[in-house]
Structure 1
Amino acid sequence: MLLALQIILVITAVLMTVFVLLHKGKGGGLSSLFGGGVQSNLSGSTIVEKNLDRYTILMAVIWIACIVALNLLQAYGG
């Protein structure tokens, strides 16, 4: 059980990192300093961006649940 939670924790951490990096920049960061923020968003938030938000939140919830479960197992000797 402990090993399975650790594996899930690592997988969700990697997936969450990938999903965060896939998000479009909202502007105002370092990319706009070097001319990356010149493009304007005409369509706003797309379906893909909304789904990416949902997947990122889902990965974060699973990640936090694994951390809590691992802590409980370690505290109470699972």
Structure 2
Amino acid sequence: MEILQVIMQVLLGITSLLLTLLILLHKGRGGGVSDMFGGGMSSTLGSSGVAERNLNRITIILGLIWITCIVILGLITKFQGA
């Protein structure tokens, strides 16, 4: 059970870093905090529609993996003392 816990912790760390990077790669929608850091500037060098959709899909899949890791780690912690 400890091996599974270590694997889940490593996977959680990796997915956390990847999620952070992928979220920062998303194009700002205007308004809010993204304008404060220069995200409101429009540029023609932005990603295409297909790339943005793929980025959204990858982000959602990684988010689901991240949530699954948290639930599994919670269950391991809960039943480890029993």
Cα distance per residue 1:17-65 (max 9 Å; x no partner): 0000000111113454677534278xxx600000000010011100000
Once the two structures are TM-superposed, the CA of residue 67 in structure 1 deviates from its matched residue by 0.3
- What does residue 18 of structure 1 align with? 21
TM-score by length of 2: 0.78
Judged with a 3 Å threshold, the aligned counterparts in structure 2 of structure 1 residues 46 and 7 are, in CA distance, closer, same or farther, namely same
Distance 1:38 1:73 in 2: 46
SS at match of 1:3: helix
**Which deviates more, 45-54 or 4-13?**
45-54
Which runs of at least 4 in structure 1 moved beyond 6 Å after TM superposition?
none
Unaligned runs of 5+ residues in structure 1 are none
TM-score by length of 1: 0.82
Structure number with greater CO (CA < 8 Å, separation at least 6) is 1
Count of aligned pairs = 75
RMSD: 2.4
State the identity as a percent.
Answer: 48
Judged with a 3 Å threshold, the aligned counterparts in structure 2 of structure 1 residues 30 and 73 are, in CA distance, closer, same or farther, namely closer
Distance 2:19 2:65 in 1: 10
